[in-house]
Amino acid sequence: MKSERAAMANAFQLRYEHGRLYRQFQVSNAYASWASDVTFEAGSLVATVGWDTVGRSILRLANFGFKMRHGVFPMTSHRSESINLDTPSQTFREGRCLVPVDVFYEQGLGPDGDIVRSSYGSYDGSMLGLAALIRPEGAGLSVTILTIPAGVTVGSANGRMPAIVGEDDYDLWLDDTTHAKAAINLIRLPRDDLLVERPF
Tens digits of residue pLDDT in 154-200: 877 788 899 999 999 999 999 999 999 999 999 987 667 788 987 65
DSSP state of 90: H
Per-residue HEC secondary structure of 138-169 comes to: CCEEEEEEEEEECCHHHHCCCCEEECEECHHH
Single pTM value for the model? 0.88
Express each pLDDT in 42-85 by its tens digit.
Answer: 888 889 999 998 889 999 999 999 988 776 678 889 999 999 99
For residue 22, give the nearest of 68, 56, 45 by alpha carbon. Answer: 56
Report all structural domains of the chain as residue ranges with CATH numbers, in order of start.
Answer: 2-198 (3.90.1680.10)
Residue ranges in 41-195 assigned as alpha helix (H): 90-94, 152-155, 170-174, 180-185
Query: Given this model, what pLDDT does residue 33 score?
Result: 62
- Please report the pLDDT score of residue 117 as a whole number: 77
* Dihedral, 54, 60, 66, 67 alpha carbons, nearest 10: -110
Cβ-defined contacts of 159-163 (< 8 Å, 24+): 159/108, 160/77, 160/79, 161/104, 161/106, 161/120, 161/190, 162/12, 162/77, 162/104, 162/128, 162/130, 162/131, 163/80, 163/130, 163/131, 163/187
The CA distance from 91 to 26, in Å, is 23
